[in-house]
Each structure stands twice: as C-alpha cells, then as structure tokens.
C-alpha cells in the first residue's frame, strides 16, 4: 500500500525540519521520496506531523511488572478496556496489561518502547510479555550492575573477559543494552544492607560502584553496543544524592563512545534523573539541586538523561533497586513485595501516592520541570516518567502541555502545589516554553539517536521506518501556551498513526490492534577465543550456584515473533 500525507506541518529535528509544510510519502513500510498517482491521500492540512514516538525507558514487561499487576487490583479498576472487535480487553492505570500497554502507547503516537530492566535469568518471561504487547517495536536491557560474573571480572581487572561475558549474555538473553541499577547496592541488599555512594564496596566481592560503572562503560565501548551504559545511580531518592549523581556522571567523561552500529555519540545515559537531583541532608531541609545537574549537562557532551517526571498520581513503584523499595515501604507502610534473582539482581514493588499538597512531592515535580527547562539542548534530555515509578506513561500529554505552557505550570504552582515547590526550587522563576520542535526532540529524535536507532527511528527522512503520528493541532491558528488543554488532549489521542506503513490509528480510533512489532536485540561478538574461556567459567558457576541448567538459560528465536537482531562484530 502506498500513502501520501499531504500538507502537514512537519517537525523532524533529526532532519532540521521545524514546522515546514510538506508531504510525506510511504511505500512498503518505509518513507520514500515519491509514490504513484494511485497512492491513498491522507490530508494533514492544519495538523502536526511527527515521527512515531520513541520511549527509551519504561517498565512494561517482566517479573516485577507482573507482581505489580497482581498486588494491585485497585489499580486495575481505574482504567478498563472492554473487548471490541479485534481489540482485546484489559485493565490497569499505572500497570496496564500487555494489550492495553500497546494500545495506550499507540494512541499517543508512540511506536517504539524499551523495557529498561530485564533480569537475565527471567529473560524468557520478559520476551513472552513483549511479544504479547501489540504494535510497538521494543527491546530490553539486561541488568548487569550487580551481576556476580561482572563483579568478579572487574574486581580482577579483567575488562576484556567482562566484555566477552557481556557479548555472550546479550546473545543468550536477546538483550539490547547494559543496564546498571544501584551498582553493588542491590547485591548488598541480598545480605541485608545497601551501599551509600559510589565508593562503598559490595559485600563479599570488595568492588565499588565507581569501579563497576567505569568497567562496564569500558566494556560497552570495547564491544561497541548501539546504546551506552544505561545507569540508575546509587542513592536514588535520598536527600543530598545529587553529589553521587554528578560523581557517577564524571566517571565516563573521558571514555570515548565507540558504537559499531548507529550514530550514538555519548558514553553514558543517566536515567530518571529527577530522583537523583536532591539536595539537603534530610526530608526536613530537602531542596532541588536540579540547576547543578542541568549545569553539568550544559557543559558536558558525553552524557544524556531522561527525567522521570512526577505526574502527581497514585501509581506503583517498581525497580531493581531492592533496598530503595524497602525504604519506601518503611516510609509509607503500604504493601510491599521483594524479589531476589540469584547471582544477578533484586527488585521491589510498592504502591505510592504523589500528592500535590505534599511538600516533598511538590518539590519533586518542580525538580523534573527544572531539568527539562534548564537544560539548554533538548538533544541531551528525554521525556519519561520512569513508568510507572513517577507516574504512568499515559501522562506524557500532560507533561507536554506543562512544558509548552508556563501559564499551565504557574496555575498549578499557585493553586494546587505546596509552597515548597516555589521555596525549595527555582521553577516559579522559569518562563521558558518548549516549542513543538523541542517536543519532537525530547519524545522522538534524542531517544532514537542515543539508542543507536536513528537510521530508521525518530525521524521522517527517506529510508526511515514509516512510523508517523499526526496530531490535530494547528500552530498557525492555535497557541499552545494558552490553549494547553487542547495540547494535552491531542497528544493523548493522535488523529492518525502509521506503524511500518500501516494505518493503526485513524481519525482518533485504534483500527489495527493486532499487528506485531519487532523485538530489537544485539547479536554481538567480541573475541571468539576469549568467549570460549569465559563460557567455560560460566558453566562451572552455573553448576555451583544456579538452580537452572546452563543449557536452559539461553533464549531461542522462537520467543520473538519479529526478531530484529543488530549484528555487531
């Protein structure tokens, strides 16, 4: 099928197109220069056209997500999807079921989403859920920041052996990127403790978080993975943690990005940095240090971040930072689930309510907004809520409206938020407003580039996948700053969405809910002889410590309906 999207106002930062009226041609699932006269015309006059959204960090599949679904029946009642035609039923507001996850992302114009924390031992289950999530292209990041093999190799200074192990693990788990969560801290949690900062050693192994970050960044660039190390810093959610955050970022400063696929130019990715930008010594003197983080981003080019914006909702927190979730449980007294994964990681799940009347929560909201608005280059920052930790991904339209309208923000600050939002942050003094070009940058272009997927994702140039979103907003006649409720509405439900050249949303209605997306993974090889020695070592450890056989660990292609390996040698 051929299509031509006519007369839309195109926002495509990767191709430096800022609101230009132009046609977009689609054939065989790709953007092309031209189509024949018989091509179906989609009239986008007076509407916005962007590439499909790219989600770099979300939690939509895997063991802790399922625990969140099971332990929170009250969450399921807040958003219910009835069966209709080919559309499956489902439920869940902060932790939607797999089908609803695909539907809700697609309705917003998103076409790619990356699961940000996959325990290697449970990768099979993660892939089963990803396959069950319709429409979206996706991938998953294996957790390596508390992995026994990694800690042992790096403690011994064997970075090349570590790289060989990671290359094998990416193939075995069908993983996409190295994920590091509270390095050494989650391992400490297995022994009843935590680490505080990057210089505390892991029990039994004697290696610090700083050494783990450095070694994994070096190994990542030795292999040349498409994405940089994806770092969840130590001390998440603790007052005063911004110093740990800055020190962690600095570790990768002099390590050159060396991807063998894609155009990534950073060596470190900092995730949900709102939770890592806190000043003070306790919750009594808690304050924003977002300006210090933004200043670092403005001065350094080796790093990009996502925000983890608080949305002021009741939600479900879940992370491989097990000790942090226990801290949250002791703070709230809410339900709590904990899970340790042998030799690899651990996680926790706790419901949480972010209240606009709470002084800390109001300041957390302000910190996220400061990070967006004080970081000068939108090419260094991405929109996330660390779904569902700071709020559900379905609130992205509201975040877009906050960013585009200082009036919307100020109305919230003056009429709903606790006074701490103004007193403990600078948000009330910032009048910057994002443009539609900036929005396309933080929701599409930046993520595609840092993921190493910008050849086919995040833009509308010839050769890109035909993932296109059309929104019913006319920037020539409508003002986003004053008409912010319309902005929120149109980005919640796109007018049209194309996925691989097929119309999946038409006139604001999901019309093709059953198509399958790709699963991206990295088929990488490092050093064949070294890998043989490493695998021999791994097999011995499996017999000693694991409760599964080595032969049952690897994930076969059968767990992916549309396997999309990225070949790296």
* 321 in Cβ contact with 185 (< 8 Å): yes
Residue range 500-519: mean pLDDT, rounded: 97
Residue range 435-442: mean pLDDT, rounded: 98
Residue range 504-514: mean pLDDT, rounded: 96
Bridge pairing between strands 2-12 and 17-27: antiparallel
Higher pLDDT, 569 or 392: 392
Q: Cα–chain-centroid distance for residue 484?
A: 25
Neighbours of 254 (CB within 10 A): 8
Helices and strands counted in the chain (H then E): 19, 26
Residue range 132-145: mean pLDDT, rounded: 98
What tokens were used for 92?
């869940």
Handedness of CA 457, 461, 465, 467 (dihedral sign): positive
Bridge pairing between strands 2-12 and 48-51: parallel
Residue range 356-385: mean pLDDT, rounded: 98
Ramachandran angles phi, psi of 54, nearest 5°: -125, 115
Domains, the chain, ordered by start: 50-510 (3.20.20.140)
Give every strand in the sheet of 314-319, ordered side by side: 314-319, 345-353, 337-341
Find where tokens 């990534």 sit. Answer: 264
Give the tens place of pLDDT for each residue, 60-112: 999 999 999 999 999 998 999 899 889 999 999 999 999 999 999 999 999 99
**pLDDT higher than 90, residue 557:** no
Q: Tell me the CA distances in angstroms from 29 to 82, 103, 183, 484, one per residue in order.
A: 30, 20, 41, 33
Ramachandran angles phi, psi of 293, nearest 5°: -70, -45
Q: Cα–chain-centroid distance for residue 306?
A: 7
What tokens were used for 43?
């009239």
**63: which residues sit within 8 A by CB, 6+ positions away?**
119, 122, 125, 339, 341, 347
Residue range 379-405: mean pLDDT, rounded: 98
* 379 in Cβ contact with 445 (< 8 Å): yes
Per-residue pLDDT at 422? 96
**pLDDT higher than 90, residue 569:** no
The candidate with the shortest Cα–Cα distance to 255, out of 216, 291, 312, is 216
Question: Cα–Cα distance between 378 and 513 in angstroms, integer?
Answer: 32
Per-residue pLDDT at 37? 93
* 51 in Cβ contact with 464 (< 8 Å): yes
Give the tens place of pLDDT for each residue, 312-331: 999 999 999 999 999 999 99
Helices within 308-467 (DSSP H only): 322-332, 359-374, 396-404, 406-415, 420-423, 436-440, 446-450
Per-residue pLDDT at 263? 87
The candidate with the shortest Cα–Cα distance to 386, out of 293, 489, 275, is 275
Residue range 117-131: mean pLDDT, rounded: 97
Q: Tell me the CA distances in angstroms from 282 to 237, 312, 496, one per residue in order.
A: 11, 22, 48
Per-residue pLDDT at 313? 97
**pLDDT higher than 90, residue 521:** yes
Q: What percent of the chain has pLDDT over 70?
A: 100
**Rg from Cα positions in the chain:** 22
Residue range 6-15: mean pLDDT, rounded: 98
Per-residue pLDDT at 129? 97
Whether the predicted model's global pTM rises above the 0.85 cut:
yes
The candidate with the shortest Cα–Cα distance to 105, out of 139, 70, 134, is 134
Helices within 114-241 (DSSP H only): 123-132, 148-155, 159-173, 185-189, 209-223
* 217 in Cβ contact with 252 (< 8 Å): yes
CA atoms within 13 A on the CB side of 498: 28
Through-space distance between the first and last CA atoms of the chain, rounded to whole angstroms: 36
Bridge pairing between strands 40-43 and 2-12: parallel
89 secondary structure, DSSP code: P
Is residue 312 classed as helix, strand or coil in its secondary structure? coil
Give the tens place of pLDDT for each residue, 192-207: 999 999 999 999 999 9
What tokens were used for 79?
């958003």
Find where tokens 């959204």 sit. Answer: 53
- Tallying the residues shown for the chain, one arrives at 569
* 183 in Cβ contact with 198 (< 8 Å): yes
* 115 in Cβ contact with 60 (< 8 Å): yes
Give the tens place of pLDDT for each residue, 29-63: 999 999 999 999 999 999 999 999 999 999 999 99
Q: Compute the C-alpha angle 530/533/538, nearest 5°.
A: 120
Provide the mean pLDDT of the chain.
97
Bridge pairing between strands 80-81 and 90-91: antiparallel
Q: Tell me the CA distances in angstroms from 119 to 154, 317, 320, 536, 566, one per residue in order.
A: 20, 17, 9, 21, 21
Question: Cα–Cα distance between 287 and 8 in angstroms, integer?
Answer: 44
Q: Cα–chain-centroid distance for residue 410?
A: 28
Query: What DSSP string describes 227-273?
Result: S-EEEE-TTTT-TTTHHHHHHHHHHTTTSPP--SSS----SEEE-SG
> Burial of 234 by CB count in 10 Å (0-12 exposed, 13-18 middle, 19+ buried)?
buried
What stretch of H or E contains 347?
strand 345-353
* 90 in Cβ contact with 129 (< 8 Å): no
**pLDDT higher than 90, residue 450:** yes
């Amino acid at each position: 099928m051929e299509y031509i999207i006519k007369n839309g106002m195109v926002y495509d930062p990767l191709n430096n197109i800022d609101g230009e009226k132009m046609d977009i041609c689609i054939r065989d699932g790709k953007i092309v220069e031209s189509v024949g006269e018989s091509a179906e015309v989609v009239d986008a006059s007076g509407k916005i056209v962007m590439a499909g959204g790219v989600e770099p960090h979300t939690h939509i599949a895997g063991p802790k997500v399922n625990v969140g679904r099971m332990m929170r029946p009250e969450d399921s009642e807040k958003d219910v999807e009835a069966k209709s035609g080919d559309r499956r039923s489902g439920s869940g507001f902060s932790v939607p079921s797999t089908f609803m996850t695909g539907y809700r992302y697609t309705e917003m114009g998103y076409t790619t989403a990356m699961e940000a924390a996959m325990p290697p031992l449970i990768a099979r289950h993660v892939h089963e859920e990803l396959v069950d999530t319709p429409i979206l292209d996706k991938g998953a990041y294996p957790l390596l920041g508390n992995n026994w093999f990694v800690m042992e190799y790096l403690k011994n200074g064997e970075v090349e052996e570590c790289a060989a192990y990671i290359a094998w693990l990416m193939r075995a788990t069908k993983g996409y990127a190295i994920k590091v969560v509270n390095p050494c801290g989650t391992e400490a949690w297995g022994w009843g403790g935590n680490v505080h900062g990057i210089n505390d050693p892991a029990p039994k192994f004697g290696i610090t978080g700083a050494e783990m970050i450095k070694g994994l960044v070096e190994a990542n660039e030795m292999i040349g993975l498409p994405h940089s190390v994806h770092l969840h810093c130590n001390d998440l959610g603790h007052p005063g943690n911004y110093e740990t955050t800055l020190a962690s970022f600095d570790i990768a400063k002099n390590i050159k990005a060396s991807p063998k696929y894609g155009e990534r130019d950073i060596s470190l990715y900092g995730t949900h940095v709102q939770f890592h930008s806190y000043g003070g010594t306790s919750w009594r003197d808690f304050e924003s240090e977002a300006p210090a983080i933004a200043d670092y981003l403005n001065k350094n080019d080796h790093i990009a971040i996502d925000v983890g914006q608080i949305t002021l909702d009741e939600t479900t927190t879940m992370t491989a930072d097990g000790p942090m979730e226990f801290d949250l449980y002791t703070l709230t007294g809410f339900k709590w689930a904990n899970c340790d994964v042998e030799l690899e990681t651990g996680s926790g799940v706790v419901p949480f309510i972010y209240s606009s009347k709470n002084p800390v929560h109001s300041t957390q909201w302000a910190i996220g907004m400061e990070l967006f608005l004080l970081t000068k280059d939108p090419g260094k920052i991405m929109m996330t809520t660390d779904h569902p930790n700071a709020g559900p991904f379905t609130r992205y339209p509201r975040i877009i409206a906050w960013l585009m309208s200082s009036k919307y923000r100020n109305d919230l600050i003056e009429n709903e938020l606790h006074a701490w939002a103004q007193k403990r942050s600078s948000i009330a003094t910032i009048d910057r407003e994002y443009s539609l070009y900036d929005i396309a940058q933080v929701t599409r272009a930046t993520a595609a580039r840092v993921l190493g997927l910008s050849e086919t994702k995040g833009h509308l140039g010839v050769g890109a996948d035909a993932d296109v979103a059309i929104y019913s907003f006319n920037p020539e006649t409508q003002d986003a700053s004053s008409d912010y409720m319309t902005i929120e509405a149109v980005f919640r439900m796109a007018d049209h969405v194309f996925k691989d050249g097929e119309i999946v949303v038409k006139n604001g209605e999901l019309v093709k809910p059953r198509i399958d997306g790709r699963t991206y993974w990295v088929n990488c090889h490092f050093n064949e002889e070294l890998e043989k020695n490493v695998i021999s070592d791994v097999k011995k450890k499996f017999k000693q410590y694991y409760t599964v056989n080595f032969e049952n660990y690897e994930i076969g292609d059968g767990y992916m309906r549309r396997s999309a390996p990225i070949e790296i040698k």
